[in-house]
Chain A
Amino acid sequence: MTVLQKLKNAVRKRSIHVCYVNTGSCNGCDIEILACLAPKYDIEQYGIYVHNNPREADVILVTGGMSTQWLDKLPDLWDRVPEPKAVVTIGNCPISGCVFNRPGKLIDPPVSKYIPVTAAVPGCPPRPSEIISAILGAADILFKDYEIHQKEKKGGSHK
């Protein structure tokens, strides 16, 4: 591993930029994400920063069960996120639709049908501690040695 890669790993571990997208949730999960920002949990001490701009983000937090207005917009937004990127879904809605998944519904869960999901946090809503550990876990797996993994992937495709 080169020194540059080591430096990149160290920096990426302490600088995860997060953008949250509400695809038709009831705001319960959004409030739990806000609780992460508050002093009790203080998401910034883990090196996670909130930017509500997908072009600056590393991790996208998706809440809500994909309402029909988001069906084309969420994959479009996902394309705008620079590499390396990850999706962490918050709450039950992106997994199953939860209480909104009734006959005659206007949502189309799961979110993983539309964008690749790295981690899903179940709960209605999940605890802030669960959200933070999911973001940290997903970022550790995806962003560590990212360039090396990309090279390995490209080498594999040439064979």
Chain B
Amino acid sequence: MTLFSYISEFLRPSWIKSFFTVKTPPLVSPPYFRDFPTLTGKECTHCLNCKMICPSPGAIDVIQTAGVWNPRIIQGHCVRCGYCVEACPEGVLTSGDLLARKKEQGLLFTHEYSIKIDTGKCMGCGNCTTACPVNREIDPQIGAGGTSFSDQVLIRVEHGKNTVLHNELCKGCKTCMETCPNGAIHVIRKVTAVQEAK
């Protein structure tokens, strides 16, 4: 290769252009990329399944704007795991091809919440009982010490100890865990994924 051919090779306009400009395709995400979940426009029933399954703190909120409940993803907290998309029974959220794949596989999530109280640590202060949003809905007259005349409530203080009456009412919000001064109460969220047989 002579010097002349060498120079003429590198003075080609197309070579100079490709040398000074970006060569790979533009910065776009593929269609199957699991991005931050977005709303599909379907009606949210405020069941809070998405919020209960979310593994990262403060990533999803279900808020009411102009009388309509809708989930809102908080960027900077969301880890894009896509659990909320799969857990939603209505298909309110979508992200990549996750919703289509869920439909194809017939994936179904069932939630189960159980409350465990460490009787050795519980001192029967009733903080959890008064803080529980389910309790307050059923019996607004609940006593400051956690005692209640109604036996329809989720938990109430009986004979100085906290007792779980209706475990199936629990929505898994963990408000009781946050208010307990001793760490005596624990909410166990159990989620089972079932795939439909074909």
Contacts and interface: CB of A to CB of B under 8 A. Distances in A.
A37 B63 CA distance: 41
B120 to A, nearest CB: 21
Given A96-B58, A98-B56, A101-B57, A124 B24 contact: no
B22 interface: yes
Interface stretch (A41-49, A50-58, A68-76, A143-151): A41-49
Nearest to A126: B80
Contact of A122 (B23, B28, B75): B75
A41 B29 contact: no
A116 interface: no
B23 A45 contact: yes
A133 B29 CA distance: 12
- The 6 A-B pairs at the shortest CB distance, nearest first, are namely A95-B76, A124-B79, A129-B27, A122-B75, A122-B76, A96-B76
Given A99-B57, A99-B79, A124-B78, 9 more contacts: A45-B23, A46-B22, A92-B56, A92-B76, A92-B77, A98-B56, A98-B77, A101-B57, A129-B29
Interface of A: 40-42, 45-46, 92, 95-96, 98-99, 101-102, 120, 122-124, 127, 129-130, 132-133
